[in-house]
Amino acid sequence: MVWLGLITILALTEYMVLGVLVGWARVKYEVTAPATTGDPMFERYFRVHQNTLEALIVFLPALWLFGRFVNVPAAATLGALFLVARIVYAVGYLWNPERRAIGAGATVIVNGMLLLGTLLGLTVYALYH
């Protein structure tokens, strides 16, 4: 479970870094709080941060449940892929919003695998325990 803890801390750190970037963009593009719209580049930073939060809501519990009921190394591997997918998403979105599709798709695939795997693992566990 140490690996799942490490992946969790890295995912939360990634999210915090994206939050710091939103703060930096807020200053650079002169978008004062509480506004969430303004310069299109600021809005990209803001959306990357918010979309990552939306993905984390599914990812974190699914990661731990998959690790518990399926396989820890597989969960950690999927977790590492999630981290990379979010970086690809962020870089793509900031460069050109249409370039976010690969990272977004990879995030959905990883979260889907974690959810479906957990559902299967829970089903098998329930049948045999």
Here the tokens at position 90 are 């962020």
The model's pLDDT over 96-125, given as tens digits with 9 standing for 90+, comes to 999 999 999 999 999 999 999 999 999 999
The model's pLDDT over 21-74, given as tens digits with 9 standing for 90+, comes to 999 999 999 999 999 999 999 999 999 999 999 999 999 999 999 999 999 999
- State how far the Cα of 52 lies from the Cα of 71, in Å rounded to an integer: 25
Question: CATH top-level class for 2-128?
Answer: mainly alpha
Length of the chain: 129
pTM over 0.85: yes
- State how far the Cα of 24 lies from the Cα of 48, in Å rounded to an integer: 14
- Tokens 């249409």 belong to 98
- CA separation (Å) from 14 to 32, 55, 79? 24, 12, 12
Judge whether 11 and 57 are in contact, CB under 8 Å.
no
Residue 94 three-state SS: helix
